[in-house]
Structure 1
Amino acid sequence: MGAAYLPYIQFSIFMGNLGFFSNAFFGFILVYLTLFYIKRQFGSYKYLLVNFQVLGFVFASFEFLFHTFLHTYNASLTYFSLSRPLGFSNFTMEWMMGIYTGLYSATICMLAIQFMYRYWAIFDTPKLSYFQGWYYFIWVGYYTFFGVLWAFAVGHFFAMDEFGRKYLGDEILLRYERNISEIPVLGLIAYEGDNIRWRNVYGLSLMTLISTVQYSIIVICGHQMYSGMVTKIAVLSAQHRRLHRQFFRALVIQISAPTIILFCPVFFMIYAPFADLEMSFPSCIIQSGFTVYPALDSVIMMSCVSEYGRALKKLIVNTKERYTVKATKEESRETAHTHGKAVTTKL
């Protein structure tokens, strides 16, 4: 049974690399089309889209650099890395791991902000002024604040102590062939003997509060848009009605797909230690799905909003035309050069 879970580590690393490169590819396409090919009717929303993609790329980059893993064992959930890139100490790496989870929180906050924007765009358009100019930094501060708070909750309240190292030491050595004192590791351990480890509960409560606030915004705005959007957008042009519906559909898919497939299982893993089940499970299998989410998000947006399809076709046509013009000019120069040599030879 020794090192039984190392193949899952390799799979997670592969998924992390795949997520990074796919996000760099699809994210770049979406950002480029948004900035240079999308019409003005997107308004300040285009900056939210770009900001979200940049945040997703940073999220994927952290996983690409640091390769972090989750492991469930009895009354615990362990968060660790088997490497220390850039010569970081264990302490520094543990805080890098905390920041990585904070970036996850920031992406959820960005989705909540997008729902709020779409809601105001339909029901209270004067408030869209809060997304323009210097006001935009309110939202940057919003997702940064909750991201830092989440990172602090993980890095501080889940820091490993002597009891945690004893509790998890043999398990980590058996499954991953590593001495727990030699690798960066954080852990949520529900109980210490018959007592609840309140330090871990405080961190978990903070994470739950942040998630509840964001999902409340998403659910409230989403429900209001679903129930009242048809009436409100009836007075708009057909093009704007279609765009509102497409953005709403994209947002619903953006939040529902990862919530069902990724976020719910992860929150189950976070709370599972309190059931104190006798189990050992490489939770990194589920965690690896997070690494491809930013790229998936880009694909969802470009698939749902028809404006991106038209922009992509325009980009392809323009690229072909540039290459055709360049090839024609080179052919003309080559012909002129050959003709000139022929005339010189005759003379």
Structure 2
Amino acid sequence: MGSFEFSFIFAKIGFFTTLFTNLFLIYATVCHMRRLDFTYRTMISFFGLTGLIFSGWELISKPLRTTVSQKFFQFSIAFHAAICEAMIAMISIQFVYRYFSLLRPEYRKDDGKGTVFWLLYPVVPGVMYFCSFYIYCMPDQFTDAYLRTEMLSSYGLQIIDIPRFIIVSYNTDDTIRWKNMVFLIQGSVILGFHYLLILFYGIKMHFHLKKKLNEFSVTTTRLHKQVFRALVVQILIPTVIFILPCVSIFFGPFKIGWNVRTDCHILRAKFYSGSEGSSCLKNVC
């Protein structure tokens, strides 16, 4: 059994695990977590649904490989990355919302006002990241020549037969390939902005909770601590699984060989979605 077939089996296991945990998370959030306000319950449910899409996209696209053009699979690559970016933005906006709901009690009213904004905001960085693949990372003769030998030796495939986006930062004369470099800069700015939001509002929320402990009941205090702990775990998981490996590859010292097979990414992706739902269930429910 080839490594891709082996990874696809794990993709199935990961998807059905995610399907169970995230559907149960959505059910528990909507039907039983009445102590949380309407907007935050909706945000958790939307996050669980997005995790299902992220986990199931590989299973959806694989059966279409013989019937759909390469452009669909190129779209799938960008879409998968955009969903990951949107989920990071979704976590960051939860930090912002939880801080303001602590600071201003009117945010906790179950009237649903502003819910649409909190749900639609993550779409913006996701769409920006998706579009940047088509603007900055389309293959050309230089990038195909750069990776042709590696693709043939590692996968036994001709690079022109593969749906692809390619990032090569330098030309052969060591001049910067600005289109690819702008992609890295834009991605870093978007990601860095959301991590700054998480860090800033996470720290403020931590100290605000300490000040407000005497004003809350024991039940309310425990709830806020559980939600805060869930948010911290939610951002730690994708940071360890996706962000840190990508940072080391994209921004590590030059002239160091990296060869990470796609099936390794698939395994990480399937582990990620299920673990996010499980962490929410464990820390909040």
- TM-score between the two structures when normalised by the length of structure 1: 0.75
In the TM superposition, 1:1-347 aligns within 5 A as: 7-66=2-61, 85=65, 87-127=67-107, 133=112, 135-193=114-172, 194-272=174-252, 275-282=254-261, 284-286=263-265, 288-305=267-284, 308=285
Q: Structure 1: how far apart are the matches of 2:127 and 2:60?
A: 20
Tell me the equivalent position of 1:3.
none
Change (3 A) 1:113 1:65: same
What is the CA distance between 1:279 and its match in structure 2? 4.3
Local SS of the residue matching 2:224: helix
- Please list the CA deviations of residues 98-135 of structure 1 after superposition, one character each: whole Å capped at 9, or x if unmatched: 11100001100110111112111212233457x95462
Local SS of the residue matching 2:167: strand
Moved more, 44-53 or 285-294: 285-294
Task: Work out whether residues 158 and 188 of structure 1, in 8 Å CA contact, stay in contact via their aligned partners in 2.
Answer: yes
Structure 1: segments with no counterpart, 5+ residues: 1-5, 68-82, 309-347
Percent identity, aligned pairs only? 25
Change (3 A) 1:290 1:132: farther
Which amino acid letter does the alignment assign opposite residue 154 of structure 1? Answer: F
Which amino acid letter does the alignment assign opposite residue 151 of structure 2? Answer: I
What is the CA distance between 1:58 and its match in structure 2? 0.9
- Please list the CA deviations of residues 130-189 of structure 1 after superposition, one character each: whole Å capped at 9, or x if unmatched: x95462221233111110001111233111111111111121111111111112111111
- Please list the CA deviations of residues 254-299 of structure 1 after superposition, one character each: whole Å capped at 9, or x if unmatched: 1123313432112222334x61324434264255312221211111
What is the CA distance between 1:245 and its match in structure 2? 0.4
Moved more, 86-95 or 208-217: 86-95
- Please list the CA deviations of residues 186-225 of structure 1 after superposition, one character each: whole Å capped at 9, or x if unmatched: 1111211022111101111111111011111100111011
Local SS of the residue matching 2:139: coil
Which amino acid letter does the alignment assign opposite residue 97 of structure 2? Answer: Y
Q: Structure 2: how far apart are the matches of 1:299 and 1:279?
A: 32
Which amino acid letter does the alignment assign opposite residue 202 of structure 2? Answer: G
- Please list the CA deviations of residues 15-62 of structure 1 after superposition, one character each: whole Å capped at 9, or x if unmatched: 322221111111111111111222244432110100000111111121
Tell me the equivalent position of 1:331.
none
**Count of aligned positions:** 284
Structure of greater Rg: 1
Q: Structure 1: how far apart are the matches of 2:38 and 2:64?
A: 43
Q: Structure 2: how far apart are the matches of 1:127 and 1:270?
A: 40
The structure with more strand, counted as a fraction of residues:
1
Q: Structure 1: how far apart are the matches of 2:93 and 2:45?
A: 13
Task: Work out whether residues 250 and 304 of structure 1, in 8 Å CA contact, stay in contact via their aligned partners in 2.
Answer: yes
Q: Structure 1: how far apart are the matches of 2:274 and 2:98?
A: 22
Which amino acid letter does the alignment assign opposite residue 246 of structure 1? Answer: Q
Which amino acid letter does the alignment assign opposite residue 303 of structure 1? Answer: K
Task: Work out whether residues 74 and 163 of structure 2, in 8 Å CA contact, stay in contact via their aligned partners in 1.
Answer: yes
Task: Work out whether residues 15 and 288 of structure 1, in 8 Å CA contact, stay in contact via their aligned partners in 2.
Answer: yes
Task: Work out whether residues 115 and 222 of structure 1, in 8 Å CA contact, stay in contact via their aligned partners in 2.
Answer: yes
What is the CA RMSD across the aligned residues, in angstroms? 2.2
Local SS of the residue matching 1:191: coil
Local SS of the residue matching 1:252: helix
Task: Work out whether residues 19 and 295 of structure 1, in 8 Å CA contact, stay in contact via their aligned partners in 2.
Answer: yes
Q: Structure 2: how far apart are the matches of 1:46 and 1:236?
A: 21
Tell me the equivalent position of 1:77.
none
Local SS of the residue matching 1:196: coil
Task: Work out whether residues 94 and 155 of structure 1, in 8 Å CA contact, stay in contact via their aligned partners in 2.
Answer: no
